[in-house]
Structures are given as C-alpha cells and as structure tokens.
C-alpha cells in the first residue's frame, strides 16, 4: 500500500490527478499540500474518500515525520499574470519545494514532477523534441517560471545520476478544461470567462501565435500512465500534450461562434509571448503506446464552457440565497 | 560607510575581491560567509584588517540581525568535477543562497552576483553576446551549475522588475590565477599542478575546444569597477572575460614548453564539455570604457606557475618542519 504526497493538489491539474489517484486500490493515503495561492478547496470539494488529507501550507515549508512512497510535485502557478506578479514565490515553490519534498520521500520512493513546455521558451524548432535545449531569456519577465522549472528538472535528473533517484518528469504543453480559475489569465479559460461576462474576448498581439491545446482528461490520463508505471526504462523528460497546433485567434473565433453576440478585441502583445508551441510526440509514442490526446479543441472548449456556465450559475444562486437570507433576518 | 557581505569570500575569486574591497575607504565592515567547501582560509590568511569578519557557514543557512548595504553572492563551486559530485548542494548554494541573502540586504542596498558564461551552455553562436539565450541541456551532467546560475539570474532580474532591486550581474568567462586549488580540476590550474607533480598533462578530448582565459587581476578589476559604481544605467548581465580565444591544447603545449620534460596525454572527453567559449564585449566596452583583459595567457600562466611553485615549496617546508619537530620530541 502506498502513501502519496501531491503538492499543488488543489490546483487545476493537481485536483484532477488526485481524482485519478483515488481510483487506485493500492493507495493507502493521499496527502495534498497546497497554499491555495492559485488552487482552491472547491476543486476537491466533491471528494468523500477518507484516504484524502489536505494540508494548507507552502510546499517549501511543509514538515512532517511521515515518509512517502510517491511524491508528485505540481505546486506552482502556471499562468503568466500569476507568476509574473510574484516571481520569487514561484522559484521558492518549484526549487525549494522540490528540495524540501525530496526529504519526505522514503528511500527507493518515486519523485514525479510536472515541468512545462516553457522550458523551450520561444522555440526556434517546431515541433519541439525533448532534446531541444530551448530558447529562454533567463533575465526576462517569464524567467521565474521557465527557469525554476528548468532548475528543478536539473535538480531531479542530477539526483537520478548521482544517487539513482527514481524520477518521472513530464513537460506539459498548454492544458485547459474544467477547474481552471475564471481569472487564470490563459487563453482558453480567459476567452470563455470573457464570453460569458463582458462578451468581449481580448486577443493579445495578432493572435497568430500558436499553442497545442491539451484537454485535461487526456493530459491526466498520460500522467497517470507514466507516473504509476513501475517498469519504466525512460523516465523523462516526456512531452505531454496535443500535437494539433492551433492559433490563439482560431480558438477565440471558435468561441465567438459558439456564443453569438461576443466579439474579439485586439490588445498589445504580452512580453516575450512564445510565437509557437507544439510537442514532438515521438518518445511519447514509444513510452506510452496507445495514448493520444484525442479530445479535439472544439469538443474540449464545449465541455469547458458548460462547466464555466454551471459554476457561474451556482455562484449566482449562492449569492441570491445569501441575499434572501439577509432580507429575511 | 558601507557594510558588505561576500558569500564565497574564501574562494579563488572571492578572496581576490575581498582584497579589493578592503582597499575602499568607504567600507566599514566586510563579512565573509564561506563553508570552505572549495574555498580555504589560507586565501585570506594574509589579511590583517580589523574590518574583516569570516563566518564559516553555508550561505543558505546564514542568519544574522545585521543588514548590509552591499551583498556580493559568489558562493558556488565553479569547476565541473566539484559541482558534478554534489549537484543539489550547488543548487542550494546558488538559488537558496540568493533567496537567503536577499533578506540580509538593507532596503535600497545592492545585490551583486557572479553568474557564468556557462549560462550559454555549448554555444551555437560565437562570440556570445549577453542577448544569446544559450544552449544548456537542463537534464545533463553540468545542469546543476548552469541551471542554478540561470535561475539565480532570473530571481535577481525579476526582483529588479517587480521591486526595483539594485542589482549587478556579471557572467564570468574562464578565470584563472593564483589561489586556484591544486585539485580544482579546470584546465590551467590542472595543467600547472600536473606539470609540477606528475609531469604529465591530461587533455580531455582532442583539446581543440576553446576557452577565453581571463587572468584574475583583470577579472577582479572589472568586478570592482562594475560592482562599486553607483551611477550605472546598465546593471547586467555583463560578460566579463578575455576575448582572445585559445584552445585547451595550446595552453597545455605552452606549459610543456615552460617546463621541459613534461608531456601531454589525451583522455576521453568530459561529458557535454562546451566546444567553444568567447565573450562578446560590446556592452562591456560601453559600460566600463577603458577596461581590457590585457594580461595575455602566456604572462598569466607564468605568474600562476610561480605562485603554485611557491605554494608547493611552502607546503614541503611545513611538512619538513613538522617532521623535524616530531623527531626532536
């Protein structure tokens, strides 16, 4: 029976991975560490499984006498407006977080890390294979995220080299889906939440920058298969994403068609916004045969839109309930 | 009057910078933090200045109620065999060290950092301008050093962006000279110490990989001019080095000529050893007009050789003294 620690387990991807973990019969206990910076307890509010424990704490400060068979380090904001506001906190969460969590792993345990396609920066080759060394400005406004992910990869691969640490490292390309924050700030969730409120979608730059939009269910399926597998010759870095490259403007246009009456407004480009992003999935095909990111963005966007609508309706109903109660008093 | 903290101040470059600091009349106190991992008290044994205080401590753990006007963060091994042995410790010294030292800076104080040409990895452009984003394998055997330097740069430039921190960041190209450890492992000191002991110089690979050898006095002169200057529009990253590109084999050959009877032996290449390294000094010329690295390697090697000879003679004499004393007892 395994004890598993998930840092960032109340976040968008983290909470989906916790759901997946709780489906495993060999898991005795799941401890989530989250400081609720970008995560939310609401993301795990549906869980009624006595194996789940949540500790509200910074990952770099978390202390316990427990030792874990598996540590999954996901704690970090992943959206530029969030990480650009508090860059040092991002570095602490990733790098100091990893150093701290290493101490909580039992000898022989496994350390899984969600790195990012941002390690490739604004890539000069497309699609990006894992061997591509990237084009990151380590003094730029996105560097706290990009470089702390790169440094944490270094820390883990070097631990593997010098002490045989069992690691799994994935590089996640743009993921989206239910449980993204309405104020997350990344394209898909931003467009949907704008379409449902101000009805004005803001596209930065000309919108021709491309991304590879991976729907959350597909992404989590890949993580589960890679992280839970014992016999694993290749331990990373592994690109995880949808390799259908779509422009930001195409996604925005698609959403305006789903919601008549919404419009697109162009805004100045975001500093050092990558011009393109597409995973080379050659290694993935070998390591996880049969896995594909097969939810097309048209379908993923529809599901995400439905989820956002329900969330907004629930929030409005809660506000009305509180107002009615106050009136009644 | 200024209080200055120097982490790694007992190291090769650190101790030379401390000498330079103690020439400043406006310095009230110099606190050196060094865990003597690669540094040595011997490097500061010549100092008899009551303004110098040495604390033997890991930089990431150092605590004090004092606050400093200037922090100079140099703590880190810089030689591949040293940093490849204890990669996590390297990351802690650089990244956690910087985070810790930021807390010891008085508001409005200045944070200086010695980064490295290794942020360029195995460069695909030559010479390397500061704008070059580098070619570093963040999963490779040199990554603890390269990536922790990159991440610390990110940490400082982002602190400058979000909170106006006054920073000075240099990228040092290969430096050499007196006070390098005999077992440092980098080319010049290695060749000299081998020439004086086994008389067999080991060149890794074909020796055609190039470096830009900067003699310590030139390098320290650049640091002092850049770090102590108040009115400074450009705060880094600033390449510091000699832009005369010389192959490793040329240096080895030069030393065999200085010491007849020594020979060169070829060994397998070091993993991911950069093929070339040469600073673009365009920004340097603008920021520090008049500065040049003008000690040619032939002269620098001679001075370093003299220093190593004296060190060895002194060590032998000390051993003889101890032996004589034991015999006399």
Distance CA A163, CA A153 (A): 15
Write down the pLDDT at residue A318.
87
Strands B238-240 and B200-204: what pairing? unpaired
Q: Are residues B159 and A87, on separate chains, in Cβ contact within 8 Å? A: yes
What is the C-alpha R_g of chain A? 20
Write down the pLDDT at residue A231.
81
B312-321's contacts with Cβ under 8 Å and 24+ in sequence apart are B312/B196
| Per-position DSSP letters for A189-239, written without gaps between them | HHHHHHHHTT-EEEEETTS--EEE-EEHHHHHHHHHHHHS-SS-S--S-EE
Q: Are residues B148 and A140, on separate chains, in Cβ contact within 8 Å? A: no
Strands A263-267 and A52-56: what pairing? unpaired
**With a cut of 50, which residues of chain A have pLDDT below it?**
none
Write down the pLDDT at residue B231.
81
Count chain A–chain B contacts defined by CB atoms under 8 A.
127
- Substitution target in B139, B146, B171, B271 with the highest count of A β-carbons within 10 Å is B139
Q: Would you say the ipTM is above 0.90?
A: yes
* Token pair belonging to A121: 């920066």
End-to-end CA distance of chain A: 52
The answer to whether A60 touches A83, Cβ cutoff 8 Å, is no
Distance CA A255, CA A94 (A): 34
The answer to whether A221 touches A262, Cβ cutoff 8 Å, is no
| Per-position DSSP letters for A296-308, written without gaps between them | -HHHHHHHHHHHH
* Token pair belonging to A50: 């006595």
The pTM assigned to this predicted structure is 0.95
The answer to whether A255 touches A191, Cβ cutoff 8 Å, is yes
Write down the pLDDT at residue B170.
98
Report CA A175 to chain centroid distance, whole Å.
6
Distance CA B188, CA B216 (A): 12
Q: Are residues B151 and A119, on separate chains, in Cβ contact within 8 Å? A: no
Longest dimension (CA), chain B: 67
Of B87, B139, B154, which has the smallest distance from its Cβ to A147's Cβ? B154
User: Which residues on adjacent β-strands are paired with residue A66?
Assistant: none
- H or E, element range at A266: strand A263-267
Q: pLDDT for B244-267, tens place per residue?
A: 999 999 999 999 999 999 999 999
Q: Residue written as tokens 């009305």?
A: A320
Distance CA A320, CA A317 (A): 5
Write down the pLDDT at residue B315.
86
Q: What dihedral do alpha carbons B217, B222, B223, B225 form, nearest 10°?
A: 120
Distance CA B251, CA A59 (A): 48
Distance CA A200, CA A266 (A): 10
Closest to A193 measured CA to CA, from A308, A45, A307: A308
Higher confidence at residue B175 or residue B230? B175
Question: What residues contact residue A319 under an 8 Å CB cut-off, 6+ apart?
Answer: none
What is the C-alpha R_g of chain B? 20
> Is the pLDDT at B329 greater than 80, yes or no?
no
The answer to whether A66 touches B136, Cβ cutoff 8 Å, is no
Distance CA A7, CA A13 (A): 11
Distance CA B207, CA B154 (A): 33
CA of B257, closest CA in chain A: separation in Å? 39
Distance CA B119, CA B135 (A): 8
Distance CA A284, CA A130 (A): 10
Question: What residues contact residue A213 under an 8 Å CB cut-off, 6+ apart?
Answer: A174, A175, A176, A188, A242, A244, A246, A251, A297, A300
Q: Residue written as tokens 């899984």?
A: A112
* Token pair belonging to A258: 């789903």
Q: Are residues B139 and A91, on separate chains, in Cβ contact within 8 Å? A: no
Q: pLDDT for B31-65, tens place per residue?
A: 999 999 999 999 999 999 999 999 999 999 999 99
Average pLDDT over residues B66-85: 96
- H or E, element range at B152: helix B143-163
Distance CA B266, CA B259 (A): 18
Write down the pLDDT at residue A130.
98
Which chain A residue lies closest to B83 (C-alpha atoms)?
A158
Average pLDDT over residues B140-152: 98
Write down the pLDDT at residue B240.
97
Q: Is B157 near chain A, with CB under 8 Å? A: yes
Which chain B residue lies closest to A100 (C-alpha atoms)?
B92
Write down the pLDDT at residue A57.
98
String of b and e for A69-104 (b: at least 16 CB within 10 Å)?
bbbbbbbbbbbbebbbebbbbbbbbbbbbbbbbbeb
The answer to whether A69 touches A106, Cβ cutoff 8 Å, is yes
Which chain A residue lies closest to B151 (C-alpha atoms)?
A147
CA of B234, closest CA in chain A: separation in Å? 13
Domains in chain A, ordered, with CATH?
2-179+212-243+276-294 (3.40.50.720)
Q: Is A159 near chain B, with CB under 8 Å? A: yes
- Which 3 state secondary structure label does DSSP give B240? strand
- H or E, element range at A2: strand A2-7
Q: pLDDT for A79-127, tens place per residue?
A: 999 999 999 999 999 999 999 999 999 999 999 999 999 999 999 999 9
- Which 3 state secondary structure label does DSSP give A14? helix
- Which 3 state secondary structure label does DSSP give B289? coil
Closest to B81 measured CA to CA, from B172, B176, B186: B186
CA of B260, closest CA in chain A: separation in Å? 40
Closest to B32 measured CA to CA, from B71, B89, B1: B71
Percentage of residues in chain B with pLDDT exceeding 70?
Answer: 100
Distance of CA B54 to CAs B9, B74, B279, Å?
8, 15, 33
Distance CA A75, CA A57 (A): 11
Cis-peptide, bond into residue B100, ω within 30° of zero: no
Write down the pLDDT at residue A271.
85
Distance CA A297, CA A254 (A): 9
The answer to whether B44 touches B32, Cβ cutoff 8 Å, is yes
Neighbours of B320 (CB within 10 A): 10
Percentage of residues in chain B with pLDDT exceeding 90?
Answer: 88
Q: Are residues B158 and A141, on separate chains, in Cβ contact within 8 Å? A: yes
Write down the pLDDT at residue B219.
98
């Amino acid at each position: 029976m395994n004890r598993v620690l998930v840092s960032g387990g109340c976040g968008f991807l983290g909470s989906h991975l916790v759901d997946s973990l709780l489906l495993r019969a060999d898991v005795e206990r799941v401890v989530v560490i989250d400081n609720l910076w970008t995560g939310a307890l609401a993301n795990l509010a549906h869980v009624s499984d006595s194996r789940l424990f949540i500790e509200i704490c910074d990952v770099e400060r978390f202390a316990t006498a427990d030792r874990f068979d598996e540590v999954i380090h996901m704690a970090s904001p992943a959206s530029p407006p969030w990480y650009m506001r508090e860059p040092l906190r991002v570095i602490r969460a990733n790098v100091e977080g990893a150093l701290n969590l290493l101490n909580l792993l039992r000898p022989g345990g496994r350390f899984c890390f969600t790195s990012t396609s941002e390690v490739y920066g604004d890539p000069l080759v497309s699609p990006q294979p894992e061997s591509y060394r990237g084009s990151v400005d380590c003094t730029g406004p996105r560097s706290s995220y990009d470089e702390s992910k790169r440094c944490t990869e270094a820390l883990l691969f070097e631990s593997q080299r010098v002490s045989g640490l069992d690691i799994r490292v994935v590089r996640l390309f743009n993921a989206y889906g239910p449980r993204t924050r309405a104020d997350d700030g990344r394209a898909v969730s931003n467009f949907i939440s704008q379409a449902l409120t101000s009805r004005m979608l803001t596209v930065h730059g000309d919108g021709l920058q491309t991304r590879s939009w991976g729907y959350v269910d597909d992404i989590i399926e890949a993580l589960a298969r890679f992280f839970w597998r014992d016999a694993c010759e290749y331990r990373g870095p592994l690109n995880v994403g949808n390799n259908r490259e779509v422009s930001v403007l195409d996604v925005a246009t698609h959403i305006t068609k789903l919601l008549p009456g919404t419009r697109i407004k162009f805004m100045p480009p975001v500093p050092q916004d990558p011009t393109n992003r597409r995973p080379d999935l050659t290694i993935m095909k070998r390591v996880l045969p049969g896995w594909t990111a097969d939810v097309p963005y048209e379908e993923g966007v529809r599901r995400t839109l439905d989820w956002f609508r329900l969330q907004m309706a629930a929030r409005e109903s809660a506000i009305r309930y509180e107002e009615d109660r106050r009136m009644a008093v």
